[in-house]
Amino acid sequence: MWNDTHVPDFILMGLTDSEEIQLVLSVLFLLIYLVTVLGNVGMIMIIHLDVQLHTPMYFFLSHLSFLDLCYSNVIIPKTLGNLVTSNKSISFRGCFTQMHFFILFGGAECFLLSSMAYDRYVAICNPLQYPVIMSSRLCSALLTATYMIGFMDSSVSMICMSRLHFCKSIDVDHFFCDTSPILALSCEDTFYTEIMAFIFAGSTLMVSLITISLSYVSILCTILKIDSTLGKQKAFSTCGSHLLGVIIFYSTMIFTYLKPTKSYSLGKDQVASVFYTIVIPMLNPLIYSLRNTEVKNAFNRVMQKRGSSKVLKKQ
């Protein structure tokens, strides 16, 4: 029996034992990681450089890109290392550190998506008061609350998890340190720890999801009252990208976390985990840029400014 004193390293069993599949996955995940980094860093830079995007909507979007960037850096580098090398070990403290930041950024992203939904609600349902309501002070307060809630969620979860003793095995049936496969290794009764984890994960997901749902119900009611078809299309376009991102993110998170640990299924849960830890951080900047004319125009303006500055320097 051991906890954080004189413990052996955990062994991340990964996604497959086949060397051929590991090679294919390593190339695929590396490409996804590069697109994720370029897409999210590019989104942050465009929003920072273009003055016309200095609005609450893009303020939150830049932090969503930041969270996706952090989120992927917690998971993908270690996963790539395990795929291309024979060393699949991770220290006890390294495992819990990875789990801590994974929960922190995941919880923060839930409430950031809620803040973005509220921003869209105010923009569509109360457009005349939008500049007053969505002030820089409110945006900063919502963002601070987002990170604080994510930190509190991860801290409480880690306190509960770190008190467990492990004696069954050091083999983690996953490609990263997540709560369900780690709880499965404990030789103690994990009922109360599972309940705490379920309450915090459930409350984080459900409170943010309820906030988003109420915002979009109000948005839908307001859009249906608009007489012109063009007005309806314009209103839908302002929140379509966010709604698509919410559906993809929450569907996989609810499937994975709002169920008992004993129902953990290695194959199904790993596929869902790959999707929300590796694929979604890559998809978000694509969804918000490809479906957004303002971002495309901002990108063109930034490129034109850079081209003009180069011409002036040559002259």
Q: Is 2 domain-assigned?
A: no
- What is the chain's Cα-based Rg? 22
Q: What is the mean pLDDT of the chain?
A: 84
pLDDT score for 201: 76
Q: What distance in Å separates the CA atoms of residue 72 and residue 76, rounded to the nearest whole number? A: 6
Residue 76 belongs to domain with CATH number? 1.20.1070.10
Contact 153, 107 (CB under 8 A): yes
pLDDT (tens digit, 9 = 90+) per residue, 199-239? 877 788 888 989 999 999 999 898 888 877 777 777 777 78
Pick the range with the lowest mean pLDDT from 90-94, 112-116, 229-233: 229-233
Whether 129 has a pLDDT exceeding 90, the answer reads: yes
Predicted local confidence at residue 114, as pLDDT: 94
Long-range contacts, stretch 41-49, CB < 8 angstroms, 24+ apart: 41/65, 41/69, 42/285, 43/285, 43/288, 43/289, 43/295, 44/69, 45/302, 46/295, 46/298, 46/299, 46/302, 47/298, 49/302, 49/305
Q: How many domains does the chain have?
A: 1
| pLDDT band for position 3 (cuts 50, 70, 90) | low
Is 179 a residue whose pLDDT tops 90?
A: no
126 occurs within a structural domain: yes
Query: Residue 132: is its pLDDT beyond 90?
Result: yes
Evaluate the CA torsion angle 118, 121, 123, 129 in order and state its sign.
negative
Q: Sorting pLDDT into bands at 50, 70 and 90, what band is 141?
A: very high
- The domain in which residue 94 lies consists of 10-314
Query: Is residue 79 assigned to a domain?
Result: yes
Residue 264, domain member (yes or no):
yes
Q: Examine residue 5 and state whether it is found in any structural domain, yes or no.
A: no
DSSP state of 262: G
> How would residue 307 be classed by pLDDT, with cut points 50, 70 and 90?
low
In a domain, 175, yes or no: yes
Please give the C-alpha separations between residue 154 and each of 161, 189, 225, 253, in angstroms, as whole numbers: 10, 21, 42, 16
Residue 4 counted as domain residue = no
**Would 3 be classed as within a structural domain?**
no
